Amino acid sequence: MSSPAHRPPMARPMSFVWTRRIVLTLLGIFAALPVYVMLSTSLKPLQDVTEKFHWFPHRLTLRPYVDIWHTVPLARYFVNSIIVSAAATGLSVAVAIFAAYAVSRYRFKGKRVFTITVLSTQMFPGILFLLPLFLIFVNIGNVTGIALYGSRAGLIITYLTFSLPFSIWMLAGYMDSIPRGLDEAALVDGCGPLGALFRVVIPAAVPGIVAVAVYAFMTAWSEVLFASVMTNDTTRTLAVGLRGYSTQYDVYWNQVMAASLVVSVPVVAGFLLLQRYLVTGLTAGAVK
Amino acid sequence: MAVPTGTTAPSRGEGQGPRPGSGRVREPRRTLKVGRGAVPYLLVLPALLLELLIHLVPMVVGIVMSFKELTQFYIRNWSQAPWKGLGNYRVAVDFHGAIGEALLRSFGITCAFTVLAVGLSWLFGTAAAILMQDAFRGRGFLRALFMTPYALPVYASVIIWAFMLQHDNGLVNHVLHDQLHLSSKPAFWLIGDNSFVSLVVVSVWRNWPFALLILMAGMQNIPDELYEASAIDGAGVWQQIRRITLPSLRPINQVLVLVLFLWTFNDFNVPAAGDLISIHIYQASFLTWNFGSGSAMSVLLLLFLLVVTSVYLALTSMKRRSHV
């Protein structure tokens, strides 16, 4: 991870160096332990995970990684999660770019009200609008025939609004850091506002856009509450589907861990690869 | 729930004063068909419509529902449910009744949980961010490791911790009981009194990297000259942390603590049976099928969060002005 090492190396007193070693080691163990448990459990046969916990697997097996695809229709959940998360991310980023451009570059009546309203929606407890939203979706379906309840479309528009406020806020901050002279030059050259946005502002805002895209994808990939109410058998996402590994009598812990690992790898890898964009985006815009 | 980053609206809003470049909007544009005053409104329109559909209208519906007697008999046809006035609210805040008493208990547990979880997350994040300011061997690896719990999908974290906290085959009891012999018999971590500890630990595990991420970004905005000047004046590293790093982070901490607070208070994804308020209301609604009562509780929760947020922002902004 290339991190901006902006502080020049300095001679630090031993007290500082030892505090650093001890504290970071403890935090490292705290962070790594559950990840290790996930990995090691996923490589054990079922008998070995139902009895006493062992630090190291006696018998290594890759069987759970084969079984996870048969115990529940994991591939279908995977496809659903990918479609829903990718669509929600794309739409959320597009909508956020337009709104952030307006907030960053225009003065208009109601701007303050708009930003405060959009941002304060993040305060709403999910349970307050879970049931009403469900009823609204059902009613829209009855009146117009557009199936939002139980469909991926309903989940997509729900998720895109979850990441929208943060995305607008962060992108507007990021665009504020792009010199205004750039898009003014484009306007003078005869571009409309949209031309200036697409030819100048968006290319300059790529790090910020990557950052909000990562955030939006993670938000959609992880959401549980709405996924459990708004989906049916064919549209179920991973967040709900992973419950299928526990039956009434038993939990297939090794398979649960293997499946957790498999569904986590895409987001964790993506996040770790792109986190420097997140830091850049936050530094330039939001955290000023 | 999504990350509640919301509440920084005032600080953003205040930065929106007149700008040198904003005059250009009024210049005539050949390519512009719509009236030029409409452009910003068209740009925010999609965002506004979506927020209306998914958040604001359902919230209003939720508030309406809280005044109705919305039990299972009316759920198919909820607009026909009889009005109940403030009845649902009266039941929810009647702390001598069973429902009100349970709600108050859950609220108290949630408050204690939030204070502990946010405090520890902030402390861990701050300590790690400060200690990782210098470049040293393995820093990149450590940062990736620290970020992993935050990047993991919430449901995966919950599953892993639920397994670690199992009574018979979990890692926690294996270490505490079998290896360290700290308890006379294996404890239950997912139910009973211990579950509170589990909730706090898991919440901190998931959220402290977020504090680290934000604080690391914030520290990059502290000018190097401040450190250099203080080093010339003979300040040691501990003094620099106290006099430069921590005060410079105050504005970020204002936002960070608030975000962590809202996030933790509304937390729904937990491995243990902990009676947190969100779960309490969910169960009150869906187990008894009394959605009017559940909505009333949700509205009360929202009011509480609104009041806390406003008071917090007012207090911290005041303090910030008097300090700067």
Decide: A260 and A64 in contact? Cβ < 8 Å: no
- pLDDT higher than 60, residue A263: yes
**C-alpha pair distances (Å), A52 with each of B163, B172, B186:** 12, 11, 12
* Pairwise CA distance, residues B296 & B293, whole Å: 5
Share of chain B above pLDDT 90, in %: 40
In angstroms, the first-to-last Cα distance of chain B is 35
In a domain, A125, yes or no: yes
Position A5 confidence tier, pLDDT thresholds 50, 70, 90: very low
pLDDT for the residue numbered A7: 53
Q: Do A24 and B142 touch (CB under 8 A)?
A: yes
- What backbone torsions phi and psi does residue A251 show, to the nearest 5 degrees? -115, 125
- pLDDT higher than 50, residue B62: yes
**C-alpha pair distances (Å), A7 with each of A22, A237, B121, B124, B216:** 21, 44, 25, 21, 12
Share of chain A above pLDDT 70, in %: 95
Decide: B146 and A27 in contact? Cβ < 8 Å: yes
Q: Which residues of A touch B163 (CB under 8 A)?
A: 37, 41, 253, 256-257
Cα B109 from chain centroid (whole Å): 16
Closest Cβ opposite residue A131 in set B40, B56, B291: B291
ipTM: 0.89
Work out the minimum CA distance from B237 to partner chain A, whole angstroms.
7
In a domain, A19, yes or no: no
Q: Which residues of B touch A282 (CB under 8 A)?
A: 213-214, 217-218
Report CA Rg, chain B.
25
Q: Do A282 and B147 touch (CB under 8 A)?
A: no
In a domain, A233, yes or no: yes
Q: Which two tokens stand for residue B148?
A: 């992993």
Decide: B31 and A195 in contact? Cβ < 8 Å: yes
Share of chain A above pLDDT 90, in %: 46
Identify the three-state secondary structure at position A227: helix
A29 touches chain B (CB under 8 A): no
Decide: B258 and B306 in contact? Cβ < 8 Å: no
Annotate B119-141 with DSSP letters as a single string.
HHHHHHHHHHHHHTSS--TTHHH
Domains of chain B: 99-323 (1.10.3720.10)
Share of chain B above pLDDT 70, in %: 86
Work out the minimum CA distance from B257 to partner chain A, whole angstroms.
13
Identify the three-state secondary structure at position A53: coil
User: CA quadruple A178, A182, A186, A188: dihedral positive or negative?
Assistant: positive
A86-108 pLDDT, tens per residue?
999 999 999 999 999 999 988 88
In a domain, A3, yes or no: no
User: CA quadruple B134, B139, B144, B150: dihedral positive or negative?
Assistant: negative
* Pairwise CA distance, residues A8 & A20, whole Å: 17
- pLDDT higher than 80, residue B107: yes
Mean pLDDT of A253-276: 92
Which residues lie below 8 Å from residue A179, measured CB to CB, with a gap of 6+?
A: none
pLDDT for the residue numbered A203: 92
In a domain, A159, yes or no: yes
Q: Which residues of B touch A191 (CB under 8 A)?
A: 31
In a domain, A36, yes or no: no
A16 touches chain B (CB under 8 A): yes
B234-250 pLDDT, tens per residue?
888 888 999 899 999 98
Chain B residue closest in CA terms to A226: B1
Position B201 confidence tier, pLDDT thresholds 50, 70, 90: very high
Decide: A47 and B177 in contact? Cβ < 8 Å: no
Q: Which residues of A touch B309 (CB under 8 A)?
A: 123
A144 touches chain B (CB under 8 A): no
Helix A74-105 × helix A206-222 angle, to 10°: 140
A189-228 pLDDT, tens per residue?
888 888 889 988 999 999 899 989 999 999 999 999 899 8
Q: Do B61 and A193 touch (CB under 8 A)?
A: no
Q: Which residues of B touch A103 (CB under 8 A)?
A: 16, 44
pLDDT for the residue numbered A157: 92
Give the range among A30-34, A263-267, B290-294, B317-321 with minimum mean pLDDT: B317-321
B284-318 pLDDT, tens per residue?
887 778 888 889 999 999 999 999 999 998 888 87
A46 touches chain B (CB under 8 A): no
B120-144 pLDDT, tens per residue?
999 999 999 999 988 888 999 999 9
Closest Cβ opposite residue B149 in set A4, A31, A166: A31
Closest Cβ opposite residue A114 in set B44, B132, B155: B44
Please count the residues of chain B: 324
B58: nearest Cα among B221, B291, B264, B257: B291
List the domain range (segments joined by +) for residue A266: 67-286
Q: Which two tokens stand for residue B268?
A: 């729904």
* Overall number of domains in chain A: 1
CATH code of the domain in which A264 resides: 1.10.3720.10
pLDDT for the residue numbered A185: 86
- pLDDT higher than 80, residue B255: yes
* Pairwise CA distance, residues B60 & A117, whole Å: 14
Match 């936050």 to its residue by tokens. Answer: A282
pLDDT for the residue numbered B30: 41
Q: What's the pTM? A: 0.86
Q: Which of A112, A127, A169, A275 to mutate to test the interface with B (most CBs of B within 10 A)?
A: A127
In a domain, A274, yes or no: yes
